[in-house]
Amino acid sequence: MRLEPKPAPSLGVLFLFPLAAVATTLVLTSILVLAAGASPLSVFYLVARGAAGSQFALLETLTRATPLIFTGLAIAVAFRAKLWNIGAEAQLYMGGVMTVVLGTGALPLPAPILIPILMIAAMLAGALMLLGPAVLKTRFGVDEVVTTLLLNFIVLLFVSMLLEGVLKDPMGLGWPQSQKIIAEAQLPRLIQGKRLHYGFVIAIVAAILVWVITKKTLLGYEMRAVGHNAEGARFVGIPVNRILMKTALLSGGLAALAGFSEVSGLKGNLTLDLSPGYGYTGIVVAMLAMLNPLGVVASAIFVAGIFVGADAMSRAAKVPSYIADVMVATSLLTMVVAILLTRFRIRWK
Amino acid sequence: MTSNPVLRLSGIAKRFGPLRANDGISFELKRGEVIALLGENGAGKTTLMNILFGHYVADEGTVEAFGKQLPPGDPRAALDAGIGMVHQHFTLADNMTVQENIALGTESLWRLKLDRTAARRRITQLSSDFGLAVDPAATVAALSVGERQRVEILKALYRDARILILDEPTAVLTPAETDALFRTLKLLVAKGLSIIFISHKLNEVMAVSDRVLVLRAGKLVGERDTKTTDRKELAALMVGQEVKPAEVRPVRLGAPLLTLERVSTAPHNGAGLDDVSLTLTAGEITGLAGVSGNGQAALAALIAGTRRPTGGRISIAGNDVSDWSPRAALSHGIARIPEDRHAVGTIGDMSVTENVIAERYGSPRFSRMGFLNWTAARRFAEKIIADYDVKCPSPEARIRLLSGGNMQKLILGRALDPDPAVILASQPTRGLDVGAVAYVHRMLLAARDRGAAVLLISEDLEEVLALSDRILVMSQGRLSTPSSRGERSIRELGELMAGHSGENSDHAA
């Protein structure tokens, strides 16, 4: 078996590949569903109904998609420039930390002023988290996959320390959780009485802004050039290291917004289970979207739908909801293969 | 020669998309024969050899070695059948010794102890038999290019190769090293080996082969006995038309535009510069000859702005420059044509438009307040495509899809459109077909007639001789004294290329 390069695929084919990847995922996961003693068709139907079959289901899916849009954008921006940021989880938590540090009464300001301040502070914290690995990479050639990945564990322990210490809620009955943020620091709900909040709107706006940056601005052009061919970019005078720094700041900032939005829009305080791995799932989201910022919105909703739908399905069909993790992981693998197939043809000898 | 052929290719065809890289090629190789495979770059020579060696699978046709058909796409089978290949780009592990490199892959995985003494004895025997002097204990990283090539040949012989394929073996050698290689080939043939020698250099083909096969655009267009043909006929076969040399007008010298004063640099793809002084003058093409790896890459990178000097001064139009970078070079009016158009000159996965604006995307012409002006960019791309006669599907096409010649025309357009004062052309015609070569030469001569100072760095001595008003030779990071057009013979230049110390001048000692 060997790979041969092939010319660029048409736009239509590019749309087909994610769909084919999803279809393959469904076929592969049916095997596990069958092993669990259920019918794949009914299980997939239950997942789809649980994800989008009612207003409640749909709103829940969009709520779950919100942090994934932010982390997906963070990954898409970084991967586009070939900056392998695996640390969105850490950046997310730092965004959450900043939100509770400044949002629990330290800044007694009205909401229209306080919320932008919290967003900026969260983005700065996330950006700084990625700045270190970016400096190590550009200065000393340290692999950012290793540094960003390991920072996830360091930051989680750091947050744990804060929640057991200075940030611990005195009224929290001993649980490792922070105080609730004040009312002015909360993002309002989109629909009264439902969980979907304005974080979703901010996520959509962020996706559009990132799209504009990548397609229309000098920075976007520079980031793509650096990602495609750093040596060539350097030759034509693009300051490669500086662009990688800017990419790191943007990526870290976007991931931190996920933490801000979860605390400010949904949870109200910071706990150690703020994110069930949104930072890692963001990688799947970005890859499924083929790193397109607008595609990230669609793929985040798709991935969130699988998680939400699988919860509902497992209650009805007695298939463990872990099938959702398997589906998401499988879809990442099939998508990686699909992306490979857009560029290469496989020859069986 | 009546013996059975050792190798027979029948009806080999290979397509890459719309391109027919090989189209119905058949030939036979006899025992003790040297076949030269002649053709321009892109004629399909390398593709054919890759099929023969099992790196590619042919769409049609078969390969037979010693009467047995080779399974397609299996390099192992080709090796086992006694076919050895010495690639243009060496495939040696730099951090291992010569002996380790040669024995690599021949030892059984299950044996606990390597039989080093026997291996060493055999390598020494082979190298003395065939004039391939090299120390088995030396680390490959410490070897010269010529020595590395000898290691590659030894590697093939160690594996009992009966058929040796050499892909452009002389591109990296000095004239003297080339002669030594040819002596080695004669010894190999005398022992009954058969050789396929791939080249586009006519004089070498005439010197070394028994028979010449000429490839053009994927087809076998001619087969001649070397004794009964001449360079002129082969050139005509190879190109398919008469080639006229570029017309050179008399020089009108202007002011010195770029001056390097006692500049040194760190090593870069070979030697670094060692106390080099050079002045580029308006209206003159300065040609730089030399064996690759002797500091040309460092000089090109320095002038292009991608490397800074470690000592000495750069001045442009009489003014010292202190802050040196690609952007500084561009803003001082230096046009750059890089040696490697795929890895450095273009960004393959970006569009033609995105590539032609790459050196000036931030200028007011193409941008406003941080946003790119795609309309202006596209218009510029269309202008370059029209002015430089680039064949491409559209300005939106990924530049990777263009042929080397069209890619080079775009790079030329990008570099020459702002009417630069200084032009750095590094291997500007490497890998191009004859038409594109002539085009590049015309553009460089036209720029010189307009009053630009041109520095032409090339491994192709004939190109340097044809274009340069003044020739310098680079060896081990140092420059020779200049000679004007026609002053030094190829032989004299070759001696300079080999270096005064003469330490790597002869490998059949």
Tens of pLDDT, residues A175-190: 889 999 999 999 999 9
Task: Provide the shortest C-alpha distance from residue B326 to chain A (in Å).
Answer: 5
Mean pLDDT by groups of 10 residues along chain B of 509 residues: 77 79 90 88 80 86 89 85 84 86 74 72 87 86 83 89 88 79 91 89 86 88 89 78 67 90 89 92 93 88 94 90 91 93 91 95 92 95 92 87 86 94 92 79 93 92 89 91 87 77 37
Chain B CB contacts of A224 under 8 Å are 350, 354
Query: CB of B433 within 8 Å of any CB in chain A?
Result: no
Alpha-carbon distance A147 to A132, whole Å? 9
pTM of this prediction exceeds 0.90: no
Question: Could you tell me which residue, A152 or B177, shows the higher pLDDT?
Answer: A152
Alpha-carbon distance A192 to A59, whole Å? 12
Residue B140 has a pLDDT of: 86
> How confident is the prediction for chain A on average, in pLDDT?
91
Query: CB of B74 within 8 Å of any CB in chain A?
Result: yes
Long-range Cβ contact pairs of B380-387 (< 8 A, separation 24 or more): B380/B353, B380/B356, B381/B352, B381/B353, B381/B356, B381/B357, B383/B417, B384/B356, B384/B410, B384/B413, B384/B414, B384/B417, B385/B352, B385/B410, B385/B413, B387/B413, B387/B417
CATH of A2-347, one of 3.10.450, 3.30.420, 1.20.140, 1.10.3470: 1.10.3470
Using CB atoms, pick whichever of B16, B326, B374 lies closest to residue A234. B326
Chain B CB contacts of A8 under 8 Å are 397-398, 401
**How high is the ipTM of this complex?**
0.84
For residues A271 and A172, the answer to whether their CB atoms sit within 8 Å is no
Using CB atoms, pick whichever of A217, A228, A238 lies closest to residue B371. A217
Residue B241 has a pLDDT of: 62
Q: Which of B371, B375, B400 to mutate to test the interface with A (most CBs of A within 10 A)?
A: B371
Question: Could you tell me which residue, B198 or A133, shows the higher pLDDT?
Answer: A133
- Any idea which of A226-230, A266-270, B269-273 has the lowest mean pLDDT? B269-273
CA nearest to B82, candidates B192, B167, B157? B157
Residue B502 has a pLDDT of: 38
The residue assigned the tokens 């499988």 is A330
Task: Provide the shortest C-alpha distance from residue A232 to chain B (in Å).
Answer: 4
Alpha-carbon distance A210 to A242, whole Å? 19
Chain A CB contacts of B370 under 8 Å are 217-219
Question: Could you tell me which residue, A20 or A3, shows the higher pLDDT?
Answer: A20
Overall residue count recorded for chain B in this entry: 509
- For residue B400, the one-letter residue type is R
- Interchain CB distance below 8 Å, A231 and B344: yes
> What does the pLDDT average to over A97-121?
94
Element (H, E) at B475: strand B470-475
Residue B171 has a pLDDT of: 73
Token representation of residue A75: 């990954």
Contacts of B458 (CB under 8 A, 6+ apart): B287, B288, B289, B427, B428, B429, B430, B464
- For residue B505, the one-letter residue type is S
Alpha-carbon distance B333 to B328, whole Å? 9
Token representation of residue A332: 């990442």
Query: CB of B367 within 8 Å of any CB in chain A?
Result: yes
Residue B168 has a pLDDT of: 82
Q: From A217, which residue of chain B is nearest by alpha-carbon distance?
A: B371
> How confident is the prediction for chain B on average, in pLDDT?
86
Q: Cα–Cα–Cα angle for B414, B418, B420, nearest 5°?
A: 100
Residue A214 has a pLDDT of: 94
Query: CB of B325 within 8 Å of any CB in chain A?
Result: yes
Token representation of residue B396: 């939106």
Domains and CATH numbers, chain B: 32-57+71-239 (3.40.50.300), 256-347+420-498 (3.40.50.300)
Token representation of residue B378: 């596209």
| Residue A334 buriedness (CB in 10 A; 0-12 / 13-18 / 19+) | buried
